[in-house]
Each structure stands twice: as structure tokens, then as C-alpha cells.
Structure 1
Amino acid sequence: MLKLNRAMLGKLLVVAVLMFGFGYALIPVYKHMCELLGINVLTQTDGTVTYDKNTQIDQSRKITIEFDGNSQGPWRFRPTKRSVEVHPGELTTVMYEVVNTQNRTVQAQAIPSFAPQLVMQHFKKVECFCFKQQTLQANEARQMPVVFYIDPALPRDVKTMTLSYTFFEIAGTQAVAAK
């Protein structure tokens, strides 16, 4: 019985070593096969890097996105651009500017709203100042980004949409006097 157990252990160790070796060799084999077949190649023979055109961008149409900023509190809040035209699928960045006009530190939060309502599910934010609370020092001015794209599945009859943020002071936060 002991002999059978040792034989089985030896076979299992060989299988484990072969599996590890296969997994380890898989990446260089994959790269070599891609180079031979001419697929998924980012580096050309002259060393320059090329990228395929992003096929997820719908170049056949443009959507106008209007931006709005409303404030409920001691600051000025506005988009730096009133509108942009984008192709669905295209990554875009717009900036909002906020200025705390008080002599105290405040905490605030932005809440987005969309018009028409159906575009909300097609407006994909990658980065947004609305994801977290903002602490603004006394008399501080700040530019805050919104990085987004429009899902190409947006109905074709939608040509214009509005993204509006309401920026408000968070209730229950204590004011900190400026020094």
C-alpha cells in the first residue's frame, strides 16, 4: 500500500510541475503566435507603437451635451464650458469650477440630474467630483473634472442632453473659522 501511495504522489508531483511549466510558458508562446499570425500586435518591427482606431466610437452621429451648475450655499459654482459635442463612445473631460466665497471651511456634495431622464442610463461617468464630498478651504477656488462617455446604445433620436449638478453644503458639518 505504501508503494502505491508513493507512486501516486510521484505522478501527482509530475502533473503539478507540468501544469506550472505550461502556465509559465503560455505568455511567451501566446506572444510568439500573435507575432507569427500578425494579430494583436502593438509594436511594429521598427519599434513604433500603433493602436487600432477605437471601434466603440460611433462616428456617424454627434450628441450635444449642455452643462449646468446650481449652488445651494456660500460659493460660486459653474461649468467652464456650457456645452460640448461628442460622438457616442468617445471619452470626454469637462471641468466645473467652484469658489468658496466664505471665510470658513465648508464641506459640500454635488448631486447630478439629467434631462431627458432616459439618458441617465447611457451617461457613463469614469471620474467625477460628485463621487465624494468636497472640503473647500476659506476663499478656495478649485477646478473639478467630470470624465465621461455616452453609451453608443443611446437611442438615435436623442440629439441633445443636459447634465446639471446641484452643489450644496452638507448639513451637520461644523464651520471652521479661518486663521
Structure 2
Amino acid sequence: MSKGIEQQTDKRSNGKVIKKLVLLVFAMFGFGFALVPLYDVFCDITGLNGKTNDVGVAYENDGIDTTRTVKVQFITRMAKGIPWQFEPVINEISVHPGEVKFVNFYAKNKSKRDIIGKAVPSVSPGIAAGYFQKIECFCFTQQPLKSGEDVEMGLQFYVDIDLPSEINTLTLSYTLYEISVKVDS
């Protein structure tokens, strides 16, 4: 008699474990699904993401703070496998907050085929990303280059006058990705 009770208890116990494991699997799936929006919220709160505006902004002439100078550095890199040369024409520029500046980036398609590229910007420190305003940028559009073609691509920007005073240097980094396959399909 006690053997039957033990087997029933074991079956109930096994059923509880299975239910808990299934619940755990669903919870893990839900967490994985929610991870991207949670990461975005975390980055917004901590200022770690470095995302800049995706479309041009109108220049807000709040004056130019000539008492401050901010160094803006430019860094470029290419995603693995894209056969381009991609670099800033100048590596850094000094700018007064509120002052509009224009810089160029050089790109050359070194492959034997036409390629469409897309540059993705990031600003560091991340907290300064909201103060780096792009008026016009090649990163807003796709960049198609024929085999062997080269081009200078422009960036017009300003650093918002409300940039915290402890930030003296901004780094604008572009990563160039090939999107030819995505456009073709």
C-alpha cells in the first residue's frame, strides 16, 4: 500500500517539476523577446547608447558659446567583408557649441562590383549623443558606389549649446555596412 502512495507522490512531484520547467522556458523566451526594448530603456537612462538623430534637424540658432571649445573626433570602420576605403578627410575639428560645421568623409569602392553601403553613426560619450545635432549627413541615405568609384560625402552638424560643461571632447564614429543584398531582394 505504501508503495502505491509513494508512486503517486512521485508522479505528482514529477508533474510539478515539469510544470515549473515549462514555465521557466516560457519566462526565458519572454525575457529574450523583451531584452532589446529593455536594453534601449537602460541605455536611455544611463546615456550609454550613443545613438544620434536619424534625420536632419533644423539649426536652432541659440547663439554661439565662444567661451567654450569642444573637440570633435571622427572615426570610421567597415563591417567585415565590405571592400571599401572609408575615412574622414580630417580626423578632428574644434567647434564652439552652437556653431555649424561641415566636414567630408571619403569613400571608394575597391571591388569589381557595384555596392550599396550604409553608414551607422554613434557618439561617445553616449550621454553627449543628444547634443550632437546632424543637419545633413550622408548617413541618412544609402550610398551606392559603382566598381572603382570614389566620392566625398558631407556632414553638416553643430554641437548643442546646452552640452554639459564637463564634456570637452566628442567622438563621432561611423560603421559602414554593405546593404546591397537587402536592397536587391
Q: Mark yes or no: TM-score above 0.5.
A: yes
Could you report, residue by residue, the CA deviation over 1:55-88 in whole angstroms, capped at 9, with x for unpaired residues?
A: 6100010000000010121101000101000000
CA distance in 1: counterparts of 2:64 and 2:168, whole angstroms = 16
Which structure's CA Rg is the greater one? 1
Correspondence 1:60 to 2:67:
yes
Matches within 5 A, 1:131-146: 131-146=140-155
Greater fraction helix: 2
For normalisation by structure 1, the TM-score amounts to: 0.65
Correspondence 1:70 to 2:80:
no
Identity, % of aligned pairs?
38
SS at match of 1:172: helix
Matches within 5 A, 1:1-40: none
Matched length: 122
Partner letter of residue 110 of structure 1?
A: A
Indicate if the aligned counterparts of 1:107 and 1:173 stay in contact, CA closer than 8 A. Answer: no
CA gap of 1:118–1:171, structure 2 versus 1, over 3 A, is same
Indicate if the aligned counterparts of 2:97 and 2:158 stay in contact, CA closer than 8 A. Answer: yes
Correspondence 1:169 to 2:171:
no
CA gap of 1:86–1:105, structure 2 versus 1, over 3 A, is same
CA displacement at 1:168 relative to structure 2:
1.1
CA distance in 1: counterparts of 2:62 and 2:181, whole angstroms = 48
The answer for unaligned runs of 5 or more in structure 2 is 1-60
What is the aligned partner in structure 1 of residue 110 from structure 2? 101
CA displacement at 1:171 relative to structure 2:
5.5
CA distance in 1: counterparts of 2:182 and 2:172, whole angstroms = 27
SS at match of 1:104: coil
What is the aligned partner in structure 2 of residue 90 from structure 1? 99
CA displacement at 1:173 relative to structure 2:
4.5
Instruction: Give 1:118's match in structure 2, choosing from 122, 127, 133.
Output: 127
CA distance in 1: counterparts of 2:158 and 2:92, whole angstroms = 14
Root-mean-square deviation (CA, aligned residues, Å) is: 1.6
For normalisation by structure 2, the TM-score amounts to: 0.63
